[in-house]
Amino acid sequence: MLAASLSPTRCKLHATTAHAGVGDSIRPLCVNVPESELTELRRFRHNAMTLLITTLAAVATGAVLATSAFAQSARDVRGASPFETIENEPAPKLIVDPPLPGPLAQGLFQAQYRTENVHIVPVFGEGALKASPRIGHLHITVDDHEFLWADSGNTNTVDIAGFSPGDHKVKIELVDANHNVFAGQSVTVPFTVPPAK
């Protein structure tokens, strides 16, 4: 009867000494293993694998949640809401990139810009100086001409056509609603339009 409950010969690993430790050699020992013990071993391996997969999934989920917790908020990227008053606003800042080289070959100046701590809007006059968050616009001058124009469109690119070949410059100033340049916020961009081919 006992022989009927045993499965074919299976091998188990046993240490060669009574208490296996680091460095002990392990050798296979082939014995008859009851089917119930094999079933239990399979169940244990299945449960261990399920636990491993569940743990890895939990770690991955935690990593995703932690990453999104450190993502920048809309306020971090866009600045303050126009519906809140800001006390002690940081100084406004104008950042202008060099003009795009491709359009220059056609006499076209296109330079991207961005501002910090000021909203570019078409609002002008003394009363607008009290607005919070701060508002303003750009003044643009070409080649030191006496005239300039105001840009309040916030298109993020100054776009001027019709430059002849040669050296030119565009001055871009960040100004308040009453046309006063914010301290240190004037950028002059020198460039050369190549000769026509």
Query: pLDDT of 3-33, one tens digit each?
Result: 444 444 555 554 444 455 555 555 555 556 6
Structure confidence at residue 65 (pLDDT) = 73
Structure confidence at residue 193 (pLDDT) = 95
The gap between the terminal CA atoms of the chain, to the nearest Å, is 101
Q: pTM of the entire structure?
A: 0.59
B/e letters for 88-116, b = 16+ CB within 10 Å, e = fewer, are eeeebebebeebeeebbeebbbbbebebe
Q: Is CATH 2.60.40.10 correct for 93-193?
A: yes
The secondary element (H helix, E strand) that includes residue 179 is none
Structure confidence at residue 7 (pLDDT) = 45
Annotated domain spans of the chain:
2-69, 93-193
CA gap 140, 145 in Å, rounded: 10
Give yes or no for a contact between 165 and 193, defined as CB atoms under 8 angstroms apart. Answer: yes
Which mean pLDDT values do the consecutive 10-residue runs of the chain (197 residues) have? 46 50 54 70 80 86 71 75 79 95 94 94 89 91 92 92 96 96 97 90
Structure confidence at residue 59 (pLDDT) = 86
The predicted-structure confidence for 26-52, as pLDDT tens digits, reads as follows 555 555 667 777 677 777 777 888 888
Structure confidence at residue 127 (pLDDT) = 87
- CA diameter of the chain: 112
Residues 6 or more apart whose CB falls under 8 angstroms from that of 112 comprise: 96, 97, 156, 157
